[in-house]
């Protein structure tokens, strides 16, 4: 597939699949992983992203991250694009990217460097060297507000850079950089802050968005995408209204709830999510009840669950 | 050594040694590492911390981090306490800690978890499990302002927790938690934000501080420690005045300059630091000149360097 064609195919939802862990051992539940990924694809997901933050990438060992990527490629088996998350030190990111490429992933998403000290030219060099070390193309996860968008403008001309997951909720900045990066660079701009921000970012040039909600309620995420594509304002804002309580609950405790709310919701609707690993513990009763309330409002809880 | 005794020995400077990289290959310069660690010890360092942030821990592969720790233990050879930095996923942190223990490190410093989602109980569980997995004691690197100090109060009673590197520059919070954690828990409070903040934190109960400056000018760091211990106000503030321009230059670019300024200064005074790895690039000419100016003001540049 040409880089330009792949870039175009990112104008959709990037489904950041969770990594299910068994309740007691917190080991990876690979059977659950298979069920989850199939659920996503059967419900319309065109891009699957293993080893994203919603996949608790940073709670996995390097070896586990590789295995998760490999398994997801096998499960997807050509039915969607696999964008494998890679990160850590530059050398480790290249190692993970090379592994993903050999395993058959279509592209990689390079996480924000975890080193607490970053300079603009150092950042550019970090991404450039990873991008150039691989044959498959890359997507940058851009989330450090201390960096200027100049780094994206410098990286955009690279052939193998096909997308930017923009995760700084500064729409002025975002709209400006989208206008300043030439169209010919074939960058697909992806809203990195999900359904809550997607309507605003879409309007400013992000033709895709990432989603964790999609693990629970893919129909709703795709309803939003379709409404955005059709400029159906009424549906956009009614869906937005519907998903807002869920996304706000995920944002609680400075985003500490981000993944555990998704997992709790999946468990409540009968999907196989299990628990989160440290440094995140299970939801308290109050937040569990809030999840139930939201799921009930969506009509996703049946009588069997005893909640409607 | 008893945990209480070790804790007491942390009432000093934790020298976060840099990891020297060769200019061209960016490989670790182990000969340089040896020279640097010897320089620190010969100039009074009692605690050496390999794999800290100033050691560019997050630019090292897991294997490199192990090797650096092992080499530092060998170089130190009982002449100082070795506090090895560990981090990443909980499993990886335990792996690194176990390695450090077997290599002969005296204790570990557990970095802030890198997972972007953290809950208080999840955070406690993360640290507790790492601390309890090892025989040697631990120091917590505490830097997430979104967490309350309750997590420290919950962890403090653990026998094997001997110190907290407190790196949130909120003196009200810090003074309060120091007063609230019982003395019998044998926690040594360490100011994690170096010479610039040490006078304020010392006053509020931090009997030690971490330092990157110590790699360049250990005499000055220890002059400050001594003045703090002797309550010599005049010297405290005159040293503080002297080191401030250096620490402020390190803070430039949202701390992007943190390590590269130390390495540049070391190179200028003839120590073996080499370059930083990505995502940090070399200093620009202007900042290089600023480093020279500061070193000259300290009397550390001789005529040979052509700068005085």
Q: How far is CA B115 from CA A80, A106, A278, B204, B280, in A?
A: 27, 25, 9, 30, 21
Residue showing tokens 């919603």: A54
Query: Which of A25, A64, A92, A119 would you mutate first to test chain B, the one with the most B CBs within 10 A?
Result: A119
Total of domains in chain B = 1
Contacts of A94 in chain B (CB under 8 A): none
| pLDDT tier at A304, thresholds 50, 70, 90 | low
Phi/psi at A41 (nearest 5 deg)?
-70, -40
Using the predicted structure, report yes or no on whether residue A298 has a pLDDT greater than 50.
yes
DSSP result, A113-148: P--S---HHHHHHHHHHHHHH-SS-EEEEE--TTS-
- pLDDT digit string, tens, across residues A25-69: 999 999 999 999 999 999 999 999 999 999 999 999 999 999 999
CB contact under 8 A, A61 and B92: yes
Q: What is the pLDDT of residue B302?
A: 72
What's the angle, vertex CA B252, arms to CA B275 and CA B59, rounded to 5? 35
Position A252 in a domain: no
- pLDDT digit string, tens, across residues B2-34: 999 999 999 999 999 999 999 999 999 999 999
Position A235 in a domain: no
Domain CATH for B199: 3.20.20.70
Complex prediction ipTM = 0.94
Position B178 in a domain: yes
Contacts of A62 in chain B (CB under 8 A): 62, 92
Q: What is the pLDDT of residue A170?
A: 98
Structural domain span for residue B41:
3-230
Phi/psi at B104 (nearest 5 deg)?
105, 15
Q: What is the pLDDT of residue A303?
A: 52
Residues B120/B150, Cβ–Cβ less than 8 Å:
yes
Q: Does this model's pTM top 0.90?
A: yes
- pLDDT digit string, tens, across residues B51-65: 999 999 999 999 999
Position B304 in a domain: no
d(CA A28, CA A57): 12
Question: Averaged over B32-56, what is the pLDDT?
Answer: 98
Position B84 in a domain: yes
Position B285 in a domain: no
Residue showing tokens 């557990």: B110
Position B292 in a domain: no
Query: Which of A18, A116, A251 would you mutate first to test chain B, the one with the most B CBs within 10 A?
Result: A116
CB contact under 8 A, A280 and B122: yes
CB contact under 8 A, B113 and A258: no
Position A7 in a domain: yes
Closest-CA residue of A relative to B277 is A122
């Amino acid at each position: 597939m040409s880089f330009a064609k792949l870039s175009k195919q990112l104008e959709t939802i990037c489904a950041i699949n969770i990594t299910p862990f068994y309740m007691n051992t917190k080991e990876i539940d690979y059977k659950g992983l298979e069920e989850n990924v199939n659920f996503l694809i059967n419900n319309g997901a065109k891009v699957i992203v293993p080893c994203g933050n919603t996949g608790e990438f940073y709670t996995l060992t390097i070896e586990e991250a590789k295995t998760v990527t490999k398994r997801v490629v096998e499960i997807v088996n050509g039915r969607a694009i696999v964008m494998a998350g890679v990160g850590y030190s530059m050398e480790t990111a290249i190692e993970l990217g090379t592994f993903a490429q050999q395993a058959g992933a279509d592209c990689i998403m390079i996480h924000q460097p975890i080193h607490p000290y970053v300079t603009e030219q150092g950042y550019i060099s970090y991404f450039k060297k990873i991008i150039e070390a691989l044959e498959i193309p890359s997507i940058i996860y851009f989330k450090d507000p201390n960096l200027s968008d100049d780094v994206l403008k410098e990286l955009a001309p690279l052939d193998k850079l096909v997308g930017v997951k923009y995760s700084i909720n500064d729409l002025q900045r975002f709209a400006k950089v989208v206008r300043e990066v030439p169209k010919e660079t074939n960058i697909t701009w992806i809203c990195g802050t999900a359904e809550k921000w997607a309507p605003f970012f879409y309007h400013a040039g992000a033709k895709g968005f990432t989603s964790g909600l999609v693990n629970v309620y893919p129909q709703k995420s795709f309803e939003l995408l379709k409404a955005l594509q059709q400029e159906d304002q009424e549906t956009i804002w009614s869906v937005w209204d519907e998903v807002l309580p869920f996304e706000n609950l995920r944002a609680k405790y400075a985003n500490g709830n981000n993944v555990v709310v998704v997992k709790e919701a999946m468990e409540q609707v009968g999907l196989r999510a299990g628990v989160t690993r440290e440094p995140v513990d299970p939801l308290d009763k109050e937040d569990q009840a809030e999840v139930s309330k939201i799921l009930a409002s969506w009509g996703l809880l049946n009588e069997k669950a005893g909640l409607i």
